[in-house]
Amino acid sequence: MKPAIKSFVAPHRTLMGPGPSDVNPRILQALSQVTIGHLDPVFVDLMDEVKQLLQYAFQTNNALTMPVSAPGSAGMEAVFVNLIEPDDKVIVCQNGVFGGRMQQNVQRCGGQAIMVQDEWGSATDINKLEQTLKQHPDAKAVAFVHAETSTGVRNDAKTLCALAKQYECLTIVDAVTSLGGIELDVDGWHIDAIYSGTQKCLSCVPGLSPVSFSLNAIEVIKNRRSPVQSWFLDMDLVMGYWGQGTKRAYHHTAPVNSVYALHEALVILQEEGLESAWQRHAEMHDKLRDGLEKLGLRFVVKAESRLPQLNMVQIPEGVDDAAIRHRLLQEFNLEIGAGLGALAGKVWRIGLMGYGATQRNVDYCVDALSQVLK
């Protein structure tokens, strides 16, 4: 039987969860342009510009800076499969869901993950990492999440990297939610491998993962004992496609229109300026915090390690989590995030990311919550 399915029409939501965030209409317009060939010289020039714009966003001169053609999880995987080989020891700092995924990646590469655990909602303890580095002088890398989206915690990337470098470890950083929302300085902080996503503070459509590797990291990749087990994510092969100049070898077909979108998202970031974008996120967070606290909602994370772009608040006693989120979606077209893992049903996660980090969204969210919590 032929199904009688009609064209899909997306509802207009206000996205204030953990991502995707509201996409700037300029980006949607860029996305909807005609598709061109991925080896067209015009597209090759566009790829070069995306690379330069990403270098700006990450604050790096790393030549190996590009978007992996798949979501943030693929960027994570690209970093681990290229750098980690069987029997490598990697110290993984975990204080939420995404640190746990780093652990799984290390293990699937045949490596040994040495865990530094901190409570969900607290920042990674520098002293614990130092203890662990002392106990494991043969560790190859230290990996951690800069902006833990599952809890709204900011880990002190600069200090964690400086410590890892004292012990001559590679530094691997998850910047999926941090890029464009809070200060990030890949070269200044000595980050060797980093991955991000498009749908959080860049406010672009989901599906690409910007990554960057230092010369140090490239050296490690070149000296691997075994080939990278993933064909698609093998950086040696991908570089033949995303590398400098016009002599590009076909590797896979880039998601052409998504690359238009990322280009526009990064042009918007460049126009605003990194520091101004960070400042805007901080200011909107302050306003949202004041509004939520007036409603009697309490933040879980200590002020000094809170992320402006991801606000985790306790659900008040006796309030039905799912019912409230359902009403917000149905009556206000407003999406906020639920708690993950042990925090499910106990917290809400309210995102203020990129294009969505505005006074309008702050007011809309506080007003909607005040009505449904009455």
Ligand X SMILES: *Cc1c(COP(=O)(O)O)cnc(C)c1O
Secondary structure letter of residue 231 according to DSSP: S
98 touching ligand X, by CB under 6 A: yes
Nearer of residues 76 and 292 to ligand X, judged by Cβ:
76
197 counts as binding ligand X under rule CB under 6 A: yes
- Close Cβ partners of 263 (under 8 Å, ≥ 6 residues apart): 30, 46, 49, 50, 53
- Picking from 265, 288, 318, the residue whose alpha carbon sits closest to that of residue 152 is 288
Question: Looking at 17, 19, 111, 180, which residue binds ligand X (CB under 6 A)?
Answer: 19
Q: Are 100 and 151 in contact (CB under 8 A)?
A: no
Q: CB-wise, 76 or 288, nearer to ligand X?
A: 76
- Judged by CB under 6 A, which stretch of 72-80, 238-246, 328-336, 345-353 contacts ligand X? 72-80
Give least dist CB 207 to ligand X, A. 8
Tell me if 120 contacts ligand X by CB under 6 A.
Answer: no
Looking at 14, 62, 82, 177, which residue binds ligand X (CB under 6 A)? 177
**Using an 8 Å Cβ cutoff, are 335 and 207 in contact?**
no
**Around 70, how many Cα atoms within 13 Å sit in the side-chain half-sphere?**
10
SS3 letters for 53-121?
HHHHHHCCCCCEEEEECCCHHHHHHHHHHHHCCCCCEEEEEECCHHHHHHHHHHHHCCCEEEEEECCEC
Residue 74 C-beta: closest distance to ligand X, Å:
7
User: DSSP letters of 232-286?
Assistant: TT-HHHHHHHHSSSS-PPP-S---HHHHHHHHHHHHHHHHH-HHHHHHHHHHHHH
The CB-of-313 to ligand X minimum distance in angstroms stands at 18
Nearest residue (beta carbon) to ligand X: 72
Contact between residue 141 and residue 134 where contact means Cβ atoms under 8 Å apart: no
**Nearer CB in complex with ligand X: 67/197:** 197
Q: Does 112 bind ligand X (CB under 6 A)?
A: no
308 belongs to the binding site for ligand X (CB under 6 A): no
Is there binding between residue 206 and ligand X (CB under 6 A)? yes
Q: Does 72 bind ligand X (CB under 6 A)?
A: yes
**Three-class secondary structure assignment of 102-119:** HHHHHHHCCCEEEEEECC
47, 79, 176, 300: which one binds ligand X (CB under 6 A): 176
Using the CB atoms, write b or e for 337-360: b if 16+ within 10 Å: bbbbeebeeebbbbbbbbbbbeee
Contact characters 145-164, ligand X, x per CB under 6 A = x---x---------------
Residue 67 Cβ, how far from ligand X at the closest point, in Å? 12
Region from 30-38, 66-74, 258-266, 277-285 binding ligand X, contact rule CB under 6 A: 66-74
User: Taking CB under 6 A as the rule, does residue 340 contact ligand X?
Assistant: no
Q: How far is the CB of 145 from ligand X (least distance, A)?
A: 5
Is there binding between residue 102 and ligand X (CB under 6 A)? no
Q: Which CB atom, from 100 or from 111, has the smaller least distance to ligand X?
A: 100
Q: Which is nearer to ligand X, 36 or 97 (CB)?
A: 97
Please give the order of strands across the beta sheet that includes 334-338. 14-16, 334-338, 347-351, 310-314
Distance CA 202, CA 148 (A): 16
Decide whether 206 or 291 has the Cβ nearer to ligand X.
Answer: 206
Q: Among all chains, which residue has been given the structure tokens 């010369």?
A: 215
Q: Does 104 bind ligand X (CB under 6 A)?
A: no
174 in contact with ligand X (CB under 6 A):
yes
Taking Cα atoms as reference points, which of 97, 142, 140 lies closest to residue 115?
142
- Per CB under 6 A, the segment of 124-132, 172-180, 215-223, 357-365 that binds ligand X is 172-180
Contact positions vs ligand X (CB under 6 A):
19, 71-73, 76, 98, 145, 149, 174, 176-177, 197, 206
